[in-house]
Amino acid sequence: MLNYPMQTLSADAIICGAGSAGLAAAYYLSQQGLTNIILVDKNEPLSQTSSKSGENYRTWWPNETMVGFISRSIDLMDEIVEQSANAIQLDRRGYLYVSEKQTLDSLDVYKSLDVGGMRVHEQVGSSYSPFQEESNLNGADILIGNDVIKHHFPHLSENITLAIHARRAGSLSAQQLGMYHLEEAKAKGLKHLNAELIDVLQDDEGVSGVKLKTTEGDIIIESRILVNAAGPFVNEIAAMLGETLAIKNVFQQKIAFRDHEQVLDRKMPFTIYIDEQELNWSEEDKALLADEPSYDWFLDNFQGGLHIKPEGGLGSILVKLGWAFNQESEEPQWDKHSLEEFPDLVIRGASRFIPELERYIGKLPKPILHYGGYYTKTEENMPLIGPMKTKGAFVLGALSGFGTMACCGAGELVAQHVLGKDLPGYAQALAPSRYDDLELLEHLRATALNGEL
């Protein structure tokens, strides 16, 4: 066995994790003048959870903290669009929330939030246009009644009676955004190491560095700043500091397939069915499932939030679907196997509000892209961004299902914490220290609702 000498490096800051969050942290720290930043990950950038992104964004959130935070993140994405000639492929088709039974009461929570105006449309021929993508179009268009909904979205079920079209929302390329952050940070001096972080070094002043494992031997990096952006593995890094973060990991799945039957309008917005539902099994299937303990949960009532969108532009026939119905926390695995039956479950659920998708039940065209990633989340489903208990350690995590849309705001915010800059109004509610403020925590848990897709 070869014995390599221990190599020692130094850095202004170390970032653990090369996903969307870690790359954004590197970008915004480098933009603020830190030139000697080392990014550490044993995998390639954007290769784990970030590669499983739904690639969507919205300001339509059910509490003031998330509205302010995500709005700022989208402002920063808009800046990148201008700087890069839209290299991140951002569009503004919006989010379309559809329901068979929700009432306008469900909008009450948004009326006091800075999400923009609400325009109600109850008749065909109103001023509403579903395909406007102007950047200054905010708020939401509320379509009431199946006649006006079917006029604009004929693929939707006749049972849909309410459609909420949130307008400052749409899609982007998570990979292109991450690579933009990476390349710009490298141009300012960022170094990227493929290595496994195996220990965080400390002294009386807090973080003093990290120990890395590589194929050529161990490396010590001396630094007083560590940003823990390790995605599902943030608690593994926290444990090296003797800390535990209030997060859990829940595995969620998506599929993509080619819509050869051209069921979907390629210009349709990202569409979410917000109602709970039971799946449309035949009586024979129901009997078989009921007799099989490992599958009888397929007969349960599934939560709302199933979502679908055309993928790949007007010339593509690719469709992407997701449904975050799993609520079981687990220890994260690098190579987690997806639920084999998920494609059938999600296409059955989607056919509830897009009936023509029934033709794909049991007949999904191959190849089917079936993949999954972890939602790393807190109980109130809000991020953890800010100082940890150990001096010099900062966390950027718990971006549960919204890492792509939040990463710019998250990267900027953690950079502000690291550099001692003035903090925005939403910073306290997102910091780990919120768990020491019982009044704040109670408010967040009462207002955050879920917001999960």
* For residue 70, pLDDT beyond 60: yes
pLDDT for residue 258 is more than 90: yes
Is the backbone peptide bond immediately before 367 cis, with ω within 30 degrees of 0?
yes
Taking each helix axis from N to C terminus, what angle separates 174-187 and 64-84, rounded to the nearest 10 degrees?
A: 70
Q: Is the dihedral of CA 149, 153, 159, 163 positive or negative?
A: negative
Q: What is the mean pLDDT of residues 172-200?
A: 97
Angle among Cα 403, 408, 410 to the nearest 5 degrees reads 70
Give the pLDDT score at 5: 62
Q: Measuring CA to CA, which residue among 165, 77, 73 is closest to residue 128?
A: 165
Predicted pLDDT at 2: 47
pTM for the whole thing?
A: 0.94
* Cα separation, 126 vs 121, whole angstroms: 6
CATH fold label, 7-87+174-247+379-447: FAD/NAD(P)-binding domain (3.50.50)
- 67 or 109, which is more confident? 67
Q: For all residues of the chain together, what is the average pLDDT? A: 94
**pLDDT class of 444 with cuts at 50, 70, 90:** confident
- To the nearest 10°, report the CA torsion of 56, 415, 180, 15: -100
Give CA–CA dist 187/179, Å, rounded: 12
Residue 134 in this model has a pLDDT that exceeds 70: no
Tell me: the pLDDT tens digits for 371-396?
A: 999 999 999 999 999 999 999 999 99
Query: How far, in Å, CA of 377 to CA of 370, rounded?
Result: 22
For the chain, how are helix, strand and coil distributed in percent, rounded to 5?
30, 25, 45
pLDDT digits (tens, 9 = 90+) for 317-368: 999 999 999 999 999 988 788 899 999 999 999 999 999 999 999 999 999 9
Structure tokens at 301: 């009532």
**Residue 94 Ramachandran class (φ > 0 left, ψ -120 to 50 alpha, else beta):** left
Q: Which residue has the higher pLDDT, 47 or 102?
A: 47
Q: pLDDT band at residue 312, thresholds of 50, 70 and 90?
A: confident
**Domain assignments of the chain as residue spans, ordered by start:** 7-87+174-247+379-447, 95-167, 249-373
The total of other beta-carbon atoms located within 10 Å of residue 405's CB is: 28
CA angle 227, 453, 351 (to 5 degrees): 150
DSSP E strand stretches across 299-354: 306-311, 318-322
* φ, ψ of residue 375 in degrees (nearest 5): -90, 110
Whether residue 286 is predicted with pLDDT greater than 90 in this model: the reply is yes
Given pLDDT bands bounded at 50, 70 and 90, which one contains residue 224? very high
pLDDT of residue 9: 93
For residue 110, how many other CB atoms are within 10 A of its CB? Answer: 20
pLDDT at 125 over 60: yes
pLDDT mean over 308-323: 93
Euclidean distance between CA atoms 367 and 299, whole angstroms: 27
Edge-to-edge strands of the sheet including 13-16? 191-194, 37-41, 13-16, 226-228, 393-397, 384-387
Phi (first) and psi of residue 81, to 5 degrees: -55, -45
pLDDT at 136: 75
